[in-house]
Structure 1
Amino acid sequence: MLNAETKRRIDNARDILVGKVPDPKTQVEQITFAMIYKFMDDMDQISVKLGGKASFFNNGYEGFAWSKLMDKKLSGSQRLDLYVRALEGMANNPHIPQLFRDVFKGAFLPYRDSETLNLFLKEMNGFTYDHSEDLGDAYEYLLSIFATQGKAGQFRTPRHIIDFIVDCVDPDMHDSVLDPACGTAGFLISAYKHITEKHRDDPLTPDQKQRLTENFVGYDISPDMVRLSLVNMYLHQFPNPTIHEYDALTTEDRWDETFDVILANPPFMTPKGGIRPHKRFAVRANRSEVLFVDYIAEHLNVGGRAGVIVPEGIIFQSSNAYKALRKMLVEENYLYAVVSLPAGVFNPYSGVKTSILLLDKDLARRAERVLFVRVEQDGFDLGAQRREIEQNDLPEALAAVKAFQADLAMEPENSARAWAVEKARLGEDGDYNLSGERYRQVVLVSQKWPMVKLKECCKFIRGVTYSKKNEVEEKGNIILRANNIDITKNSLDLSDLKMIDKSIKLGDDLLLKENDIFICSASGSKEHIGKVAFINEDLPYYFGGFMAVIRCNEKVNPKYVFELLKSPIFRTHLNHSILAVNIRNLKSSMVYDFSIPFPPLEVQQEIVDEIEGYQKVIDGARQVVENYKPVIPIDPDWPLVKLGEVCETTSGGTPLRSITEYYEGGTIPWLRSGEVNRGYIEESELFITEMGLNNSSAKIFPINTVLVAMYGATAGQVGLLKFESSTNQAICGILPNDQYIPEFLYYFLLSKTEYFVEISGGGAQPNISQRIIKELLIPKPNISDQEKIVEALESERSVIELNKTLIERFETKIAARIQSVWGAG
């Protein structure tokens, strides 16, 4: 166990170095070199005392032993010279293990201050080790205070979270174990300790331990992390640790290696410059977290199991790649449990909200449900210091997981902490949302309040029917139709109004009134039918025959009913009730027969107030997202050049639709203009084959191509391509030369979106030609100025992305609150 004295010495050593070596990674390297250096000499000294010989520093290397280095007769400059020569020559010492020679390869002292070195070596000389396990504990502490590079989406996983995941997955002595993004090898070491602890009553023999260590494998893309993990494993009883410098996402060299257990906290962010994933993934994606989870699932042996930490995007975001991954995990029987962790677990490195996916190919195949577990406290506060506290939900969460593993039909004891959901229900809307709160304790009979049918508190009023010939251009009555409901926001959209002849008699009850719930009652679109909007004031608008209003009486709060009708439960009720194939009709009986929990009016108001508070956050975040436009301050001294003079521009093409071989089984991403959506483009909905590419004018654009939509409703939209992709002919691809940073060009063109829209001509088919794009005058600041501008705008973009996440998170809160009305209330 790590003692307080060892911890204090490591802290002191870092404090001594920080003035000369500010980079935390270099501090860790320097302490690593000194710890191993002294450890080898300690082992030599013990061997000599026992009557043996020095094994590490002998046959010409005696003069470099640590004890020689600390000789008090040496002056400061002599000690500095000896240490520099020892450090730089250690990799050539044939008497030390190959692993240590690799660690010291390229080692050097990054400063030449003898006073700092003397203080540092004196502190390190205070370390005493009888066994490498002691050094391993000290090294583990050193790594625990080292924050890896957050910009790459990598964060050190807290030890107690690692141990929790390992306990859930429960590796054993015959399992092969992989961490495909191993960092400092924390998961692998925890798994090894877990197995040896399991066999404490019947300890493993030395041969069994040797075979056990051969079952552990780690990959990491960073050579620095590989070096750290090799040292960490060696110091934790792994004589020949297997850690490969390997990029699992872009290379296929180790694709055929499979494992019984996989444990990981993979990078959360796609690196700048994008990813070029190979073609063997089941899910087509360019987000690193999606690809890593796909990789883990696909590399489990029959009956294999895994535990992986994922960001919230995996859990609920609606882009195609996220949905496809969730569908694969559920439908192909990988996922059996989701453990939600509190935001702040990774403080102080990141406040990102995370969850744990637990996979088991055998258990998930037998299970008809997925277990959801909520952890609110992990034994530490969620501030930057992460101080230990009494509240810790992890033991209870582990118990829930173990109980579910033992009995898949069992209902969790604490339904506020854990609950199981039918797989069929997860896939009802095709979204496979894994936000457990959406499904918590939801039954169609309230556990607390009576159930009341809407016919007892509401009136359903259909709109007026009319024909096309009744429409007029002026002096008519305004009629609202299905497209006057914004189905994404459940609000009125009055941008396209129609009028009908006043000769058609309309009663006052067909005017929209304050507190009406406006609803689409008939549509050929499954998305429109049953969609609602709340009317906040009397309006001079009538509603058409495919529309209706639900008008509440004094027994119920109209906004409460509105929130219930927005919920997935009402949607499920309609999907079960509406049978028509083409035009879906909402019969009054479908509304009237829908039962809702009926709390007292004051409780209804409390629920409404809570939801409206969440909605205000959503609306505010939407304002930020929808109204943001980058502004680049133009220096009048910058020269202006035509875009076509400094960039190559070209468009794509569309393979013939009639030839199925151009599309079926395609692996080449293919974008349409509607997917150029003012942002970093990281996925494609459609794919074409190599044959389709070669037999059309489609071409593959490289990463960081700037795209401009030229035709259609999205004309003028700008995107930055973050993966290799082909496009159709309605997209102009702009390839900057070395005088421009792609991000700078993207942001500048993004600031010109309104100009593009204006010159596109509007009408049924807006059009921007390549000639117009080539003629556009763009500023030409130097690269340094471009970098500064991009850095500032990237910071703004991160705020926009956070607001998008905020929208999704608070929409989930609203859904969970409405769901709870049917649950515990």
Structure 2
Amino acid sequence: MPEGWESVPVSDLFLLNPKSEIDDTTHCGFIPMSLVEDGFSGNHLYEERIWKDIKKGYCHFQNGDIGIAKISPCFENRKSTIFENLPNGYGAGTTELVILRPIILYTKFYLYVFKSDWYVQEGTKYFKGVVGQQRVHKEIFTDLQIPLPPFAEQQRIVAEIERWFSLIDIIENEKDDLQTTIKQTKSKILDLAIHGKLVPQDPNDEPAIKLLKRINPDFVPCDNGHSEKLPSGWCIANLGMIGVWQSGGTPSRSNKSYYEGSIPWLKTGDLNDGLIMDVPERITEEAVANSSAKINPTGSVLIAMYGATIGKLGILAFPATTNQACCACIEFRGITQLFLFYFLLSQRKTFVSKGGGGAQPNISKEIIVNHDIHLPPLAEQQRIVQKIEELFSVLDNIQNALEV
């Protein structure tokens, strides 16, 4: 023990579960376990009740008492508090709280003692009861030896704890703000990219319209009267003009011979906005032959069309089929795979809005293939992708550091 400290049983410092004797008509605070905050804050709320309605069948407490949950997992989650601001200074609550009334001490110091890892570990050594209804042994609130520093030192310790907690809260808030900023920055990078503002144009690049006409002599750009607003060398097309798209299907679940085969079969939940390296479910060649499921080649870009996953993306690292809620671009015409991927990523909110506001919104393959794209020259697409990945890499490194 540090100099000036003693070790004493809890019962030397607190009265255990005291009872209140007050007028039945007194307004008081009622506190079920749900109104005691877990963690280190020590906060609580209350419901206002009349004393006669809560004086029986509940624990009693008053302003300044400490309440500690004795049941698992509330005890481990540090559901403990100093009662304060109760109506008329009194209250009652769940009997799963143990009440400790301080005798002469700095109460907040002991609240932090009871929230410490040491105290939680001591309490969980002697759980009683069946799993799911376990409670700590009563001796943790009476006979356990706890530290007793000088009163002034208790106050200094609390001041230092709360100084560090304040700094931690600032860091956590700033981390949340930074994560939001990273997300917004990525969105802005994509917006600049698809509007020709992320990298400079090069007059030596072959214009996109020339490449598309060489691929398809019948190509007609989707002018819409906006061509003059495009960066040099860009043209307007729709996604159906620059790729071959196909949706998938779900083989009948009633036919067991269609499943547990060797052909990967994806659902929208398997999309991860990146390279898809594996999927949990597979179907058979028979299923592909007898359903609308189609094999998409390695490198296909997938987009979800249904429910909460609308706009989620994936790039296949292997040939695979999908269910009907996925659409795949299996061939790229005048557009690079990654430029298409990042373009689709930038359009997620638009696709979600086209899905409607029902309980299960969805978009169709037709909506996707008719969606306009401002297409840069092929060489500029490659420069844009390189710049996006360079900037995203920096942001991802920051994000990863925040998660450590």
TM-score normalized with structure 1 length: 0.29
Once the two structures are aligned, what percentage of the paired residues are identical? 28
Instruction: Look up the match of 2:108.
Output: 554
Q: 1:683 to 1:633 in 2, by over 3 A?
A: closer
- 2:131 aligned residue: 579
After superposition, give the CA deviation of every residue in 1:160-185 in whole Å (9 maximum; x if it has no partner).
xxxxxxxxxxxxxxxxxxxxxxxxxx
* Deviation sequence 1:428-487 (CA, Å, 0-9, x none): xxxxxxxxxxxxxxxxxxxxx99989x9999983249xxxxxxxxxxxxxxxxxxxx9xx
Q: 1:551 deviation in Å? A: 11
Alignment-derived partner of residue 352 in structure 2: 757
Alignment correspondent of 2:271 = 676
1:625-636, aligned counterparts within 5 Å? 625-627=182-184, 628-629=186-187, 630-631=190-191, 632-635=193-196, 636=230
Question: Where does residue 179 of structure 2 map in the other structure?
Answer: 622
Change in Cα spacing, 1:642 to 1:533, as seen in structure 2 (3 Å) is farther
Shift of 1:782: 0.9
Structure 2 gaps, min length 5: 1-6, 18-29, 51-66, 85-95, 101-106, 148-153, 197-229
- Name the structure 2 match of 1:640: 236
Instruction: Give the 3 Å change call, closer, same or farther, for CA 766–785 of structure 1 in structure 2.
Output: same
Residues 308 and 360, structure 2, Cα contact 8 Å, conserved in 1: yes
Match of 1:58 in 2: none
One-letter amino acid of the counterpart of residue 365, structure 2 = Q
Indicate if the aligned counterparts of 1:577 and 1:590 stay in contact, CA closer than 8 A: no
Candidates 598, 608, 617, aligned match of 2:165? 608
- The 3-state SS of whatever aligns with 2:363 is coil
Structure 1 residue 789 displacement after superposition: 0.9
Contact 1:622 1:804 in 2 (8 A): yes
One-letter amino acid matched to 1:634: H
The one-letter code sitting in structure 2 at the alignment partner of 1:744 is F
CA contact (8 A) 1:703 1:724 kept: yes
Decide whether aligned partners of structure 1 residues 602 and 550 sit closer, same or farther in structure 2, where only a CA change above 3 A counts.
Answer: farther
User: Given that residues 301 and 337 in structure 2 are in contact (C-alpha distance below 8 angstroms), is that contact kept between their aligned partners in structure 1?
Assistant: yes
1:197 maps to which residue? none
Q: 1:779 — aligned with what?
A: 374
1:559–1:717 CA distance, 2 compared to 1 (3 A): farther
Task: Give 1:712 shift.
Answer: 1.2
Structure 1 residues 460, 644: closer, same or farther in 2, change over 3 A? same
Q: In structure 1, how many angstroms separate the alpha carbons of the residues matched to 2:264 and 2:270?
A: 12
SS at match of 1:806: helix
Return closer, same or farther for 1:654/1:633 CA change in 2, 3 Å cut-off: closer
Is 2:312 aligned against 1:717?
yes
- Show the 5 A alignment for 1:143-158: none
Q: Using a 3 Å threshold, how does the CA distance of structure 1 residues 592 and 748 change in structure 2: closer, same or farther?
A: farther
SS at 1:645 equivalent? coil
CA distance in 2, matches of 1:457, 1:797: 57
2:302 match: secondary structure = strand
The secondary structure found in structure 2 opposite 1:755 is helix
Task: Tell me the alpha carbon deviations over residues 37-90 of structure 1, each in whole angstroms, 9 at most, x when there is no partner.
Answer: xxxxxxxxxxxxxxxxxxxxxxxxxxxxxxxxxxxxxxxxxxxxxxxxxxxxxx
- One-letter code of the match for 2:246? T
Give the Cα–Cα distance (whole angstroms) in 2 for the partners of residues 534 and 681 of structure 1: 46
Contact 1:559 1:608 in 2 (8 A): no
What is the one-letter code of the residue matched to 1:507? E
- With over 3 angstroms needed to count, the CA separation of the structure-2 counterparts of 1:776 and 1:807, relative to structure 1, is same
1:591 and 1:753 map into 2 onto residues whose CA distance is 56
Which of 461, 468, 475 is the aligned partner of 2:32?
461
Aligned to 2:362: 767
RMSD over equivalenced CA pairs, Å: 5.6
Q: Where do 1:46-85 residues align within 5 Å?
A: none
- Cα displacement (A) at 1:775: 0.9
Alignment of 1:329-340 (within 5 A): none
1:737 aligns with 2:291: no
What is the correspondence of 1:263-302 to structure 2 with a 5 Å cutoff?
Answer: none
Distance in 1 (CA, whole Å) between partners of 2:175 and 2:317 is 28
Report the 3-state secondary structure (helix = DSSP H, G, I; strand = E; otherwise coil) of the residue aligned with 2:403: helix
Alignment partners' CA distance in 2, 1:797 and 1:623: 14
Map residues 404-443 of structure 1 onto 2, 5 A cutoff.
none
Preserved contact between residue 624 and residue 803 of structure 1 (Cα < 8 Å): no
Q: Structure 1: which 5+ residue stretches go unaligned?
A: 1-448, 465-484, 492-504, 510-516, 539-547, 581-585, 810-825
Check the 8 A contact 2:265/2:283 in 1, yes or no.
no
1:690 aligns with 2:284: yes
2-side partners of 1:744 and 1:708: how far apart? 14
Partner of 2:223: none
Q: Please report how far the alpha carbon of residue 688 of structure 1 lies from its aligned counterpart in structure 2 after TM superposition.
A: 0.8
Pairing of 1:42-191 with structure 2 (within 5 A): none
Deviation of residue 624 (structure 1)?
A: 4.0
Could you say if the C-alpha distance between residues 743 and 556 of structure 1 is closer, same or farther in structure 2, counting changes exceeding 3 Å? Answer: farther
**Could you tell me whether the CA contact under 8 Å between 2:236 and 2:374 is conserved in 1?**
yes
1:654 corresponds in structure 2 to 250
Q: CA deviation at 1:646?
A: 1.8
Compute the displacement of 1:659 (Å).
Answer: 4.8
Residues 706, 721 of structure 1: 8 Å contact kept: yes
**Alignment correspondent of 1:414:** none
Change (3 A) 1:462 1:772: same
Cα distance between partner residues in 2 of 1:769 and 1:734: 14
